[in-house]
Structure formats: C-alpha cells, structure tokens
C-alpha cells in the first residue's frame, strides 16, 4: 500500500530546475496532496501548467503560499527577502517554510526575521542539480540517493524538522542536519569553488587569441569538457551563491591559489617528484566517491558502481 501524503498543499515559489523536479518527485512519490506554484516568469508558469506538474500557477507569490502547509522557496537567493515579505501575511500558522538555496547563513539572514509567529522556518539544501535550467529540465529522480542538508536555526520546532526530513526521505534523499555556518564552509569547497574554477577556465579559453573555438570544441574530450558542464549552470543562481558565501569562498580560493602557485613552481623547476606525489594522493578520494554511490546523476548509477567496485575487490589476481 502506498504511503499517505505528508502535506496537503505544497506551494513552490519559483518553478525552475529544482522547483519543477520537486513538483514531479512530490507527485510521483505521493508525498503531497495538491501542488501549486508561483514564478515571476509567465513562460515558466505556462510551461509548468502545460507539463501538468502543478495544479495551479499564480503570478503572485502569496497566492501560492496561502493555504499551503509546506512552502519551499526555489528562487535565486537574491529574491528571498522580497518574496518572504510578500508571502508572510498569507502564511497559515503551522506551515513549514523552507528553501533549497546553496548558502544557508544567507537564507537565515534574509528569511528568518520575516517569518511570522507560528510558522516553522527550516532551511534546506538538496545537494543535487544539473547544468540545465527552467521547468522543462526538471525530473522526478533528481534527489534520489543524493543528500539533502537541513540547517534549522537554534530553537527550531522539532516536529517541523522531522516532517521536512520525512518529506525529503520520501523523495529518495538522505537527510543530514547541520549547522548553517558549517554547511556554507563545506559547500564552498565541494560545490562553490569548483563552479567558480570551471567558469574561470572556460572564460580563459574564450579569451585565447591563438586557439579557435572550433579547436577547443574538437579537443575538449581531453578534459576541458568536464568543466564546461558545470560552467553552463544558471548564471543568476551562481552569482547569488558567490555574493552570499563570500567569506568561505574567499578562504578556499586563497588556499587553492597558494597550492596552484606551488604546482606552477614545481613545473617551472622540473620537480617531477612533487607532481607525482600529489597526482598519486588525489586518486584515493575518487574511489571513495564511487564506493559511496555519489558518482553520477543517473539514478541507479551509484549503486551499480558501488556493486561493481565491491565485485572487483572480491576478484583475486587484480
């Protein structure tokens, strides 16, 4: 027998890649009753309705938030303050208000002070995504086997945290509770700085005078193409991430630049042993990521990889 819905009405504020994936997953796994949304872009609202992934799409955020018992902000971080101010008067007591943004201290700073009494604010961050944008890019298994981090501020309602955890679990996610500051520090290195570096190298390539675009495209299989994927992610979302996680990102960038300078020096002076030592050390973490099933967005890929790795280890003479 399928499990019963946890929420009566899910209100999604913003129906891009993440909002649309939430709508699809919440419906497929029967986690909510009704699903409504708001988006500032009329085309996105129309697409969401055409795809049949929401029951209603409103041009005002308060219309999507009123009567909902779970409201999730899926907008860029820079819209949080304005959107929360708009919906606050319509939120029913007992409603859970959450978000999916990549910087949790900023969510607490911008949303927290505007949350009405009786509404439970539990910030969240599903660590998953693709380089695609827009409601047509959403898919129901985006959160499957991925981690979702909740960062409830001190004094948060325990029951609300538990219900939101259950919501994400039902979508296939593994849920972790973490302090917002630590979240932002960990994500700076596992997500934010990798994106910045990818954007940066794609920019360097774009500026080269002696290499044609056609050459770059043809020979991108040598490694560059892996960077272009994440450098194709939503520009506004990522702008907001960097502006709002400044401290942690700058610390990580400082470390990155120091180490890169040391590598540069090793290349200039022909210190092959230093290069080899680093290149050998970095192989280990790859194996762990594969073993943990975090290697691909393809839903069953992780499990298959982990199984293959286990079988390989069990094979003698390898």
* Backbone angle region of 94, left / alpha / beta, with phi > 0 → left and psi within -120 to 50 → alpha: left
- How far CA 15 is from CA of 12, 23, 41, 53, in Å, comes to 7, 9, 9, 10
211 near its own copies (CB under 8 A): yes
Mask for 81-110, x = binds its own copies (CB under 8 A): ---------------------x--------
Residue 73 phi/psi, 5° resolution? -80, 120
Q: What is the token pair recorded at 314?
A: 């069990």
30 near its own copies (CB under 8 A): no
Q: Which of 207, 311, 313, 314 binds its own copies (CB under 8 A)?
A: 207
| CB 5, CB 32: distance < 8 Å | yes
Mask for 114-143, x = binds its own copies (CB under 8 A): -------------xxx-x----x-------
| CB 201, CB 175: distance < 8 Å | no
The interface region with its own copies, picked from 18-26, 90-98, 153-161, 212-220 by CB under 8 A, is: 212-220
| CB 73, CB 98: distance < 8 Å | yes
Angle at 105 between CA 241 and CA 6, to 5 degrees: 95
191 near its own copies (CB under 8 A): yes
Residues with Cβ within 8 Å of 48's Cβ and at least 6 positions away in sequence, in order, are: 15, 20, 23, 37, 39, 54, 57, 135
177 near its own copies (CB under 8 A): no
Q: Nearest Cα to 7, choosing from 65, 69, 98, 95? A: 69
- Shortest Cβ 240–its own copies spacing (Å): 8
- Shortest Cβ 14–its own copies spacing (Å): 18
- Shortest Cβ 229–its own copies spacing (Å): 7
194 near its own copies (CB under 8 A): yes
- Shortest Cβ 92–its own copies spacing (Å): 33
Mask for 44-73, x = binds its own copies (CB under 8 A): ------------------------------
- Shortest Cβ 94–its own copies spacing (Å): 31
Q: CA–CA separation, 231 vs 194, rounded Å?
A: 9
Q: Which of 84, 150, 242, 305 binds its own copies (CB under 8 A)?
A: 242
Q: CA–CA separation, 226 vs 228, rounded Å?
A: 6
Q: CA–CA separation, 155 vs 152, rounded Å?
A: 8
The total of other beta-carbon atoms located within 10 Å of residue 313's CB is 9
Count of residues that interact with its own copies, criterion CB under 8 A: 98
Q: What is the token pair recorded at 267?
A: 């290349």
The interface region with its own copies, picked from 16-24, 29-37, 111-119, 242-250 by CB under 8 A, is: 242-250
Looking at the DSSP bridge assignments, the partners of residue 73 are 13, 99
HSE-up of residue 84 (Cα within 13 Å, Cβ side): 25
Residues 277-296 that bind its own copies (CB under 8 A): 278-283, 285-289, 292, 294-295
Q: Which of 264, 303, 307, 308 binds its own copies (CB under 8 A)?
A: 264
Q: Which of 84, 90, 141, 233 binds its own copies (CB under 8 A)?
A: 233
179 near its own copies (CB under 8 A): no
Q: Which of 93, 154, 155, 222 binds its own copies (CB under 8 A)?
A: 222
Q: Which of 146, 164, 172, 180 binds its own copies (CB under 8 A)?
A: 146
Instruction: Name which of 69 and 240 has its Cβ closer to its own copies.
Output: 240
Q: Which of 49, 51, 85, 197 binds its own copies (CB under 8 A)?
A: 197
């Amino acid at each position: 027998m399928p499990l019963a819905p946890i929420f009566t009405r899910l209100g999604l504020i913003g129906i891009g890649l993440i909002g649309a994936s939430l709508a699809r997953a919440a419906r497929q796994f029967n986690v909510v009753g009704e699903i409504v949304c708001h988006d500032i872009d009329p085309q996105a609202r129309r697409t969401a309705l055409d795809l049949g992934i929401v029951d209603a799409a409103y041009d005002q955020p308060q219309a999507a938030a009123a009567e909902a018992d779970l409201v999730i902000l899926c907008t860029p971080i820079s819209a949080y303050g304005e959107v929360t101010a708009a919906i606050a008067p319509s939120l029913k007591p007992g409603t859970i208000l959450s978000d999916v943004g990549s910087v949790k201290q900023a969510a607490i700073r911008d949303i927290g002070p505007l949350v009405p009494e009786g509404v439970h604010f539990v910030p969240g961050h599903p660590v998953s995504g693709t380089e695609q944008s827009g409601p047509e890019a959403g898919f129901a298994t985006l959160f499957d086997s991925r981690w979702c981090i909740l960062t409830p501020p001190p004094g948060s309602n325990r029951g609300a945290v538990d219900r939101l955890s259950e919501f994400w679990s039902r979508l296939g996610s593994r849920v972790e509770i973490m302090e917002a500051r630590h979240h932002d520090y960990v994500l700076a290195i596992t997500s934010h700085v990798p994106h910045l570096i990818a954007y940066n190298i794609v920019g360097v390539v774009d500026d080269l005078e002696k290499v044609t675009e056609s050459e770059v495209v043809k020979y991108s299989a040598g490694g560059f193409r892996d960077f272009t994927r994440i450098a194709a992610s939503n520009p506004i979302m990522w702008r907001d991430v960097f502006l709002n996680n400044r401290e942690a990102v700058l610390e990580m960038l400082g470390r990155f630049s120091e180490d890169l300078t040391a590598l540069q020096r090793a290349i200039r002076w022909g210190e092959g042993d230093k290069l080899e030592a680093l290149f050998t050390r970095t192989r280990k973490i790859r194996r762990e990521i594969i073993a943990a099933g975090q290697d691909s967005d393809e839903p069953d890929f992780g499990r298959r990889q982990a199984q293959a790795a286990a079988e390989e280890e069990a094979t003698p003479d390898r």
